[in-house]
């Protein structure tokens, strides 16, 4: 059973931070507490955790603010993602450990979530697709760093996907190309597909 802090943390991270209407706004602790049925104490504790992850900013006398990512932050984030994902593709193809079956299953799930009413679920499947590859590289520290990067991207990813229906179709196509490279044991093809995917994602994130 989740504690109040865990419940608040999950709600804030997965629902509030990915809501396009909440970007660049201050959060009401009492409103959130009422919404999920806990006291304000676990809300504060969850906000402290999110602040430590640099997902919210705690402003004295004003509360927790959800800051938009700058263009430079987005570019740096995608650069770091590229380094980690290419490493994972190279290692897993060399060792024959690429999680092709797992990623194929996730892609099928994602394909069923194209509708505008399934954006949150689509984003969750997108995360699972990439995390599966990174986890297969077998570097726990790298996996933790990657999770932190994706948490930051989710803050802006949901907004851009809400605004771009066509982008969901493009993501599926780009994911298939990554998977094709991994399935063929072709690290160069997989890395090239990862680069194209991240470049396209960066363009969307910077466009709005």
pLDDT tens digits, residue range 24-53? 899 999 999 999 999 999 999 999 999 988
pLDDT score at 162:
61
Give the three-class secondary structure for 108.
Answer: helix
Residue range 112-141: average pLDDT? 89
The torsion of the CA quartet 89, 10, 148, 78, rounded to 10 degrees, works out to 70
DSSP secondary structure letter of residue 56:
S
% of the chain at pLDDT higher than 90: 62
Alpha carbon of residue 132 to chain centroid: 13
Instruction: Give the model's pLDDT for residue 185.
Output: 98
pLDDT at 168 over 70: yes
**Model pLDDT for residues 69-110, shown as the tens digit of each residue:** 888 988 999 999 999 999 999 999 999 999 999 999 999 999
Token output for 164: 């771009």
Highest-confidence segment of 4-13, 113-122, 138-147 = 138-147
CA 104/CA 129 separation, integer angstroms: 9
Helix axes 40-52, 4-11, angle to 10 degrees: 60
């Amino acid at each position: 059973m989740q504690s109040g802090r865990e419940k608040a943390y999950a709600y804030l991270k997965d629902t509030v931070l990915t809501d396009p209407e909440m970007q660049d706004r201050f959060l009401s602790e009492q409103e959130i507490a009422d919404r999920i049925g806990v006291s304000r104490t676990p809300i504060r504790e969850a906000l402290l955790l999110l602040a430590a992850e640099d997902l919210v900013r705690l402003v004295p006398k004003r509360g927790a603010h959800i800051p938009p990512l700058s263009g430079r932050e987005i570019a740096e984030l995608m650069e770091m993602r590229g380094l980690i994902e290419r490493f994972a593709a190279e290692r897993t193809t060399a060792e024959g450990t690429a999680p092709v079956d797992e990623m194929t299953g996730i892609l099928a799930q994602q394909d069923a979530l194209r509708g505008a009413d399934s954006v949150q679920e689509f984003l969750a499947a997108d995360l699972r697709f990439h995390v599966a590859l990174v986890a297969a590289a077998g570097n726990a520290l790298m996996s933790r760093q990657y999770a932190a990067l994706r948490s930051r991207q989710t803050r802006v990813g949901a907004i851009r996907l809400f605004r771009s229906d066509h982008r969901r179709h493009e993501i599926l196509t780009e994911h298939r190309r990554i998977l094709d490279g991994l399935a063929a044991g072709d690290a160069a093809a997989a890395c090239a597909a990862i680069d194209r995917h991240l470049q396209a994602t960066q363009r969307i994130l910077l466009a709005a």
